[in-house]
Structure 1
């Protein structure tokens, strides 16, 4: 009986240690789809002003924060977060 209680206590301590060791940055990481949009012509980023950057990021998930992807006709596709 005492052995079972000790095993449960060890299990609870192990679970607590795992939960406390989770890195908050990793926990808030975003998931990026590995799907590329072939129609992207260029992108702009806050750091480059209105300069058309080529080659653009594969999709908005890979674009830097605030960077916007565009079609060739100038229509915005999305903005990276």
Structure 2
């Protein structure tokens, strides 16, 4: 009985070591909701100053620091 438990434990430890080595190669991806703001008219980004750019659907899809605006200039959100 002790031999069976030892063998199972050895297989488990070897599997954990092998799978742990593969986890180092996993890159986290940003998960964005799939919706678009109906009222977004334009966006600005730090790289382009005050220039009005074609907006993305939502702030999650925009580059970091970009701000989405409504037509009247009201900010909707800022991209993280």
Q: Tell me, yes or no, whether TM beats 0.5.
A: yes
- Give SS of 2:77's match: strand
1:5 alignment partner in structure 2: 6
User: Cα distance, 1:14 vs. partner?
Assistant: 1.6
Unaligned stretches of 5+ residues in structure 2: none
Unaligned stretches of 5+ residues in structure 1: none
How is 1:1-80 mapped onto 2 (pairs within 5 angstroms)?
1=1, 2-23=3-24, 26-27=27-28, 29-54=29-54, 56-80=55-79
User: Cα distance, 1:64 vs. partner?
Assistant: 0.2
User: Cα distance, 1:36 vs. partner?
Assistant: 1.3
TM-score, L = length of structure 1: 0.79
Point out the structure with max Rg over C-alpha.
2
Q: CA RMSD in A?
A: 2.0
